[in-house]
Amino acid sequence: MATTDLLVEGRHFRRDWSSARDVGVKAAAENLADVAAMGATATALLIGIATPGDLPVDWALDLMRGLAAECGRAGAAIAGGDVTGSDTLMLGVTALGNLDGAAPVTRDGARPGDIVAIAGRLGWSAAGLALLAADAAALDPDLVQAHRRPQPPYPAGPQAARLGATSMIDISDGLIQDLGHVAAASGVSIDVETARLQGTAPLRAAAAALGADWLDWALAGGEDHALAATFPAGTQLPGDWTPLGTVRAGSGVLVDSRPRGGPGGWNHFRGGQPELSAARPGKSRFGVADLPPA
């Protein structure tokens, strides 16, 4: 299988907020997570770089070190790529993966009665970004690091496939929005139970300090690249996976059995403000209005 993504300076990353190695880790992670979300094992990345001629060589080398380090964490390698000149720094990353002869886990297999479960963290990247935007990174360096260097749970994807997952997706655009893609493709409704959210203590503390709503980060924040999957009822889930809700007949995504207003996630061409003016470089999603979840 193959997947590709683009990162543009000023929209997907800022060099004053992230080091070159940070950018490399993030660029690799968001592509490698897409491979895991199909139930595959990542094998290689192809990297295209468009760069101004005055980009420091040390910055470019550190970028590649970040890419290579995250590839190593996923068991993949950098297989090649291309370099060209550009007024804007851009990365084009293609990830390749191996399904070992199995069928891919897609978005369209969820059925009423299935369990909805999550592997990985939700809302940490959005909270870290909010701290950076508020010049308050020192309040919680772990949240800021989660934004700069997301850590997708790569082994959980093939693990879910072996357990019989009926659908799967990585959470790059926000939990509600990405589960909405599964609901739409499968012709079902998904009900998320907020009482089951894990790892919320740092979010609550940061939200209290910033006067924000931690639940918006957890439900509409992206870039943690957690995995969401649906499993047949009665499936015994391992520790990497936490039940978060249920698939029902109907359409759209419900939160605690009710439609939720407010932000649903990031849309690349609708809603919100330009990334830099909103202090939201990249695909970070908190506080962006979008299509209603139901």
91-140 pLDDT, tens digit per residue, is 999 999 999 999 999 999 999 999 999 999 999 999 999 999 999 999 99
Query: Angle at the Cα of 164 (from 195 to 101), degrees rounded to 5?
Result: 140
Mean pLDDT of the chain: 90
Total number of residues shown for the chain = 294
The pTM of this model reads: 0.88
272: left (phi over 0), alpha (psi -120 to 50) or beta: left
Domain extent listing, the chain:
2-98, 115-255
For the structural domain made of 115-255, what CATH number should be given?
3.90.650.10
Query: Angle at the Cα of 69 (from 65 to 72), degrees rounded to 5?
Result: 140
**pLDDT surpassing 50 at residue 282:** no
The correct CATH number of 2-98 out of 3.40.190.10, 2.130.10.10, 3.40.50.620, 3.30.1330.10 is: 3.30.1330.10
Determine the Cα–Cα distance for residues 38 and 258; give it in Å rounded to an integer: 29
Q: What is the pLDDT of residue 261?
A: 73
Q: Which DSSP state fits 9?
A: B
In this structure, the number of other CB atoms found within 10 A of the CB of residue 5 comes to 17
